[in-house]
Amino acid sequence: MHTVNLFSKKKPRTQISVFGKTDVGMSRDHNEDCFLVADLTAKKASLLPEVRYHEVGPKGSLLMVADGMGGAAAGEVASVMATKTIYSHLMSTWISDKDDSPKQFAYRLREAVENANSEIHTFAKEHPENRGMGTTVTAVGVLEDHVYLTQVGDSRAYHIRGGEAIQLTKDQSLMQRLVDAGELTEEEAERSERKNIILQALGPEGRVRVDLTYQKISRGDAVLLCSDGLSGQVSKEELAKTVSQDKDLVEISGELIALANERGGPDNITVIVARFSGDSLQDPDGGDSVSHEVYPLLDADSTTEPVPLSKDSSPPTPPRSSMIAAGTAAALIVAGALLLAIL
C-alpha cells in the first residue's frame, strides 16, 4: 500500500524577481553610487539569473543602494566599502546563527550597517587623502513575508502596490528637518539648492543612528530602492507607474534611468526594483494600507548628534557638533543657517 508522508510537503516561500542598474548620469565624470543584490541563503551576490529570480530561503535576501560622497574617488571607495562590509558581516554572523527569527535578522542587519560605519570611519582616519569620505546606505532585507529596512542618509525605498508608491524611508537631510519643523514646504525643499545636505552618512562620524523599520508584503507588491539621482528627478507617481508596467525589470530599470537623464541627469543614478510573488504571500486586501513601523529592538540604540554634510564633490567643513542642540527643531534650524552661511 502506498503511503503519503504528510510532513514532507515543502513549505511555500516568497518568490523574488529583482534587477538593479547604475549610471553615471549626464554631469558627473565618475560614478560614486554602488548597489548589491544577494540571495543570502545561497550565499550569492550578483545579477546572474539564479539571483535575479530566486526563492527567499530561511536566511532571506538583501538589496542595497549606497551613494558615496567626499570628492575624487573617496565617495566611490566609501559606497563600495559599505555594500561589501554589510554583506560580508551578514555572511559571517547571520548565516551561522542558529536563531533564524525575524528579530535576529533585523538585529544583524542593523549591526552590519553600524559595522560598515566603523570600518569606513577607521579607513578614512588611516588614509588622510580620503578625509571626509562617506556614503548613504539604504539596505532592505527580505525574510518570509516582511521586508526589514535600514537607512542612513537620503537614498530612498518605496513600496509599490496597485499602481501607487509609498515612500518607506525618511530623508535624513537638512531640508527634511526644515519641512518637519514647518519652515519649508516639500515643494520648496525639492527646489532648494541645499537639498543635497544630509545629516547623517556612514563614515564621517564614529557613531551613527541607524533607522530600522519593517513592512509586510503581499503578492504582487514591489519595492524600489534608489539614490537621489533618480528620486530627485522622477516623482514617486512616475516611479509607481513605470514599475507597475507589465515589463521585464531590466527594461523598467533602463526606462527609469533614461527618464532621469532626460531631465538633466545631474547626479549618478542607481535603482533596484524587486517584485514579490509566491504561495507564501497573501493577495492584498483592499483595505490594507501600505505603512511601515519602527522595528522594536530592545538593545540600546547607537546614536549621535547629526552634523550636516554635503554630497557635493567638495564638502564644506561641518559646524561644530556643540552648535547643534539635541533634538529640537529650533536648534536644527540654527545649525542649518550656520551651514548655509559658510557655503
Q: Which helix (H) or strand (E) holds 52?
A: helix 49-52
pLDDT the model gives residue 293: 62
Map out the domains of the chain with their CATH numbers.
15-164+208-282+300-305 (3.60.40.10)
User: Are residues 42 and 71 in contact, defined by beta-carbon separation less than 8 angstroms?
Assistant: no
- Return all residues near 98 (Cβ < 8 A) that are at least 6 apart: none
Contacts 24+ apart (CB under 8 A), 318-327: 318/204
Output phi, psi for 284, to 5 deg.
Answer: -65, 135
Q: Return d(Cα 108, Cα 283) in angstroms, integer.
A: 29
pLDDT the model gives residue 309: 63
What stretches in the chain show pLDDT beneath 70?
1-9, 71-73, 286-343
Q: Return d(Cα 339, Cα 300) in angstroms, integer.
A: 30
Output phi, psi for 302, to 5 deg.
Answer: -95, 115
pLDDT the model gives residue 128: 87
- Return all residues near 154 (Cβ < 8 A) that are at least 6 apart: 67, 136, 171, 172, 173, 176, 198, 228
Q: What is the pLDDT of residues 300-324, one digit of tens each?
A: 444 444 456 666 543 333 333 322 2
Position of cell 534608489? Answer: 226
The pTM of this model reads 0.84
pLDDT the model gives residue 294: 67
Q: Which three cell numbers stand for residue 141?
A: 532585507
DSSP 129-194: GGTT-EE-EEEEEEETTEEEEEEESS-EEEEEETTEEEE-----BHHHHHHHTTSS-HHHHHH-TT
Q: What is the pLDDT of residues 85-128, one digit of tens each?
A: 999 999 999 999 999 999 999 999 999 999 999 999 999 999 98
**Which CA distances in Å does 139 have to 80, 199, 212, 227?**
13, 18, 10, 12
**Cβ-based neighbour number of residue 79 at 10 Å:** 35
First to last CA, the chain: 83
Query: In 3D, which of 157, 83, 156 has the Cα closest to residue 115?
Result: 83
Q: Which three cell numbers stand for residue 92?
A: 559571517
Q: Return d(Cα 135, Cα 256) in angstroms, integer.
A: 22
